Amino acid sequence: MTNREKPSLADNVPEAATRAVDRRKDNRVDIEAKFLKALGKELLSARQSRGWTRPDPVLAMGLGQSNEAIASHEFGTRAMTVARFGSYCTALGLPPGRLIDRVYNDVVNNGLAVLDLAELARSEHSLAQWAAIRLRELPRKSMGRLLVPGPAQDKLAELCGCDRGQLFGALTAAA
């Protein structure tokens, strides 16, 4: 039997398995693209909330970053190094870890956040009383944890006079 006549490994792989691998690749690429877009949106929002134009974070970072590069990061069309991301967050006064957590949660968990009402109720946070009341309303099997969708997170943040990132940063610190 010659090399031409030997069946290839690809001939033995079921078509369904090949499709499954392709879907995983597509999903991974999709998550990466969504992550970059969501991260960029957060950076853009933080810059604009400070009243900054694109050159302002560049000056604050002290780096030779062009306006076009900043725009491509903010639109999620270009990745940045971890060091650049850290510098950008520092310039904007954002805790990088919390920002990554929030974006990851939005992308991977579709924006659902788990709120530990028992911890919040014991804290000094302005939502402690609300958490205590809500905790009494939950069934015991919930173990004091409440799934909070994105729109509800935004409403809670509005009630506290802050944005979603600041709210969950404060709630994490309170817990």
Token pair 């990088």 in the structure block, residue: 96
Tens digits of residue pLDDT in 32-75: 889 999 999 999 988 888 898 888 877 777 766 788 888 899 99
> What kind of architecture, by CATH, is found in domain 9-94?
Orthogonal Bundle (1.10)
- Tens-place pLDDT, residues 155-169: 888 888 877 777 776
Percent of the chain with pLDDT over 90: 13
Q: Which long-range contacts (CB under 8 A, 24 or more apart) does 141-144 make?
A: 144/116, 144/117, 144/118, 144/119
Length of the chain: 175
The secondary structure element, H or E, covering residue 59 is helix 55-61
Q: What is the mean pLDDT of residues 82-106?
A: 86
> What mean pLDDT comes out for the span 101-116?
78
Predicted pLDDT of residue 125: 81
In the prediction, which pLDDT does 145 show?
80
Q: Is it the case that residue 174 has pLDDT exceeding 70?
A: no
Domain spans of the chain, in order of start? 9-94, 113-174
* Three-class HEC string of 114-153: EEEHHHHHHCCCCCHHHHHHHHHHCCHHHCCEEEECHHHH
Residue 7 is given by DSSP the state P
H/E element, 83 = helix 82-92
Residue 140 has pLDDT above 90, yes or no: no
Residues 127 and 146: their CA atoms lie apart, in Å, by: 14
pLDDT of residue 170: 65
In this predicted structure, which of 6-15, 35-44, 51-60, 126-135 has the lowest mean pLDDT?
Answer: 6-15
For residues 112 and 105, the answer to whether their CB atoms sit within 8 Å is yes
